[in-house]
Structure 1
Amino acid sequence: MTHVAIIGAGAIGQALAHILDRNKENRLELFDKDPAKVTRAALPLPDVVKEAEVLFLCVPSWAMRGALTEMKSYLSQDAIVVSLAKGIEEEHKKTMDALLVEILPQHRIALLGGPMLAAEFMEDLPGVGCLATEHVEVAEQIAGLFAGTLLSFETTSDVRGVAFAGVLKNIYALGLGVAHGLSWGDNQKGWYLTRALVEMATIVEQLGGKRETAYSLAGIGDLVATGFSGYSRNSRSGEEIVRNGVCNIQSEGCASLPHFLKLLPADRSVFPLLHGLEQIIIDGKDAKDIFSQLIR
């Protein structure tokens, strides 16, 4: 039996618990700062973390540094740490893999990306995620936790590529939300999706990942699921921007965009869609005007 800990009992944390409960070889503990979110026995953080062989971090990027700092003294050196967050933390502009390496340098880490809509898992709809790790034994152990469940994986060693692909899909999903809000047709959305994928692949490669990762579940697969789903906070955020001119929904895309842009050259005109989203979300320009210019 494997002791599994999930930190964060929001939508994805609850969905992960729902999936892992199907494998009776898992001994599962769930922790959240808000005990009301934990539907099983709520234990203190040290008790949840100290025996964990595999720990899943289901907290947003803006809370990740604090969560890691708080739990690291309780965590076994042999524990595998898996992040599901797809963002960039504000303090040092780091992706989640880089943040894990900084704070937990002795631990084996992995990222879980790809299309993983929590609401669908709660409805018992199956899915395939993207598991990124440099350690073959880690991939095998994590896959074993999900044996016979709703979730299976494609694996890759391109951890950096998956990290950046996850950030980018959230950002470009905002654009699909804007397109929805502007009542764009499917032809126009097809154009947007094609251009977004080209930009994503180029950026992932420039930042040290593999170009093909953008064409995998971690990139295009996740973007399609997120951008066209009514469950997606990023897509809803884009629609909100069209209605109100600002993003009032807290989402990884809106949170990560200003930090992510600092990793790119000052001239972002070579990425027209990304530059357009910057103008709309950060500079406050009119979404209809910007998107009309993009497709001309």
Structure 2
Amino acid sequence: MNDRIIIIGAGAWGDALSKLTQINGCEPIIWSRSCGRVLAEMVTDCVAIISAVSMSGVPAIIERLRDSIAPHQIIVTATKGLDARTNLTPAQLWHQAFPNNPIVVLSGPNLSLEIQQGLPAATVVASQSADAANTIQEIFSSPKFRVYTNDDPIGVELGGTIKNVIAIAAGTCDGLKLGNNAKSALLTRGLAEIIRIGQYWGGKTETFYGLSGLGDLLTTCNSPLSRNYQVGYGLAQGRTLTEVLANLQGTAEGVNTTKVLIQIADRNQIYMPITVLVDRLLQGQITAPEAIVALMSRDRKSE
């Protein structure tokens, strides 16, 4: 392929995405704040603009590009998070700024380090524009990276975002050495929580059982490579959140996502017991063992 694309973000995820496109013969341009080049000039003539920055960096990137993206260019968001100021997803922020552009969400069980090592993986590209999703599928598909299309971008995006909160809980579970029974129960009920708020947001139930939902949940909640898992594990060891984050390489998006989800759940009376306890744990209002006791001693109910 000779499509000209740009990847915004030179971190581990941006590097992994760059390697994937190169397998198909693309020569992606990579932009970061330290590259010394003007981003608005670099996006000219690009078929696709791929955003692989952390959630906190998305609004600033949008501002840099506000008058520089043509309506035919595809915007791909590969960020998993929620905006603390607006409570919007990355795709919603991009659509708000560029309502005439096709927006594609890329999400799945994709640990950056494994992809950089050339290990096989699969992902989902979702958009309301089938043509845009097909184009991005073609750019990223390879014998080592299987790409599925989907027409439920909000569901795909939320599956990859909300599971980070459950991953913090999973890391806590493993840090306390609670065993496989407890871990399985946590992930099962965590998925129910993801579906509950995902449906409120407009996502399709079946989407959350796919790669960007259940698939990403299983990967992130079972791998020490996951930064959100590391947060929970560190808290279970008795370290403070400040201490854990100071030794973390990269951003644990689940920390901010938890705050936003709590606001949305409270405002709309959505039952999210795991998220509530993760929030209290992150704020230092409760210890990891106390959180487990609180979770297990809730009122009896049917499944």
Normalising TM by the smaller chain, what interval? Answer: over 0.9
Report the 3-state secondary structure (helix = DSSP H, G, I; strand = E; otherwise coil) of the residue aligned with 1:6.
strand
- Correspondence for 2:56 among 51, 59, 62: 62
CA distance in 1 between counterparts of 2:270 and 2:180 reads: 25
Structure 1 counterpart of 2:88, one-letter code? K
Matched, 1:199 2:193: yes
- Correspondence for 2:45 among 46, 51, 54: 51
CA distance in 2 between counterparts of 1:246 and 1:9 reads: 26
Structure 2 unpaired stretches of 5+ = 246-250, 298-303
CA distance in 2 between counterparts of 1:269 and 1:157 reads: 25
Equivalence map 1:1-296=2 (5 Å) = 1-24=2-25, 26-35=26-35, 43-242=37-236, 243-247=238-242, 248-249=244-245, 250-266=251-267, 270-282=271-283, 284-296=285-297
Report the 3-state secondary structure (helix = DSSP H, G, I; strand = E; otherwise coil) of the residue aligned with 1:263.
helix
Residues 93 and 188 of structure 1, relative CA distance in 2, 3 Å threshold: same
CA drift of 1:18 comes to: 0.9
CA drift of 1:149 comes to: 4.8
Aligned-residue sequence identity (percent) comes to: 26
Report the 3-state secondary structure (helix = DSSP H, G, I; strand = E; otherwise coil) of the residue aligned with 1:73.
coil
Structure 1 unpaired stretches of 5+ = 36-41
CA distance in 1 between counterparts of 2:140 and 2:201 reads: 31
CA drift of 1:213 comes to: 1.7
Kept in 1: contact 2:197–2:270 (CA 8 A): no
Provide runs of 4+ in structure 1 moved above 6 Å: none
Aligned-CA RMSD value? 1.8
Per the normalisation by structure 2, the TM-score is 0.90
Residues 222 and 60 of structure 1, relative CA distance in 2, 3 Å threshold: same
Report the 3-state secondary structure (helix = DSSP H, G, I; strand = E; otherwise coil) of the residue aligned with 1:284.
coil
Alignment length (residue pairs): 289
Kept in 2: contact 1:245–1:286 (CA 8 A): no
> Deviations 1:137-184 (Å, cap 9, x if unpaired)?
111111111243522222211111122222211111111111121112
Aligned to 1:39: none
**Deviates further, 256-265 or 146-155:** 146-155
Per the normalisation by structure 1, the TM-score is 0.92
CA distance in 2 between counterparts of 1:60 and 1:138 reads: 23
CA drift of 1:267 comes to: 8.1
Report the 3-state secondary structure (helix = DSSP H, G, I; strand = E; otherwise coil) of the residue aligned with 1:94.
coil
Kept in 2: contact 1:245–1:284 (CA 8 A): no
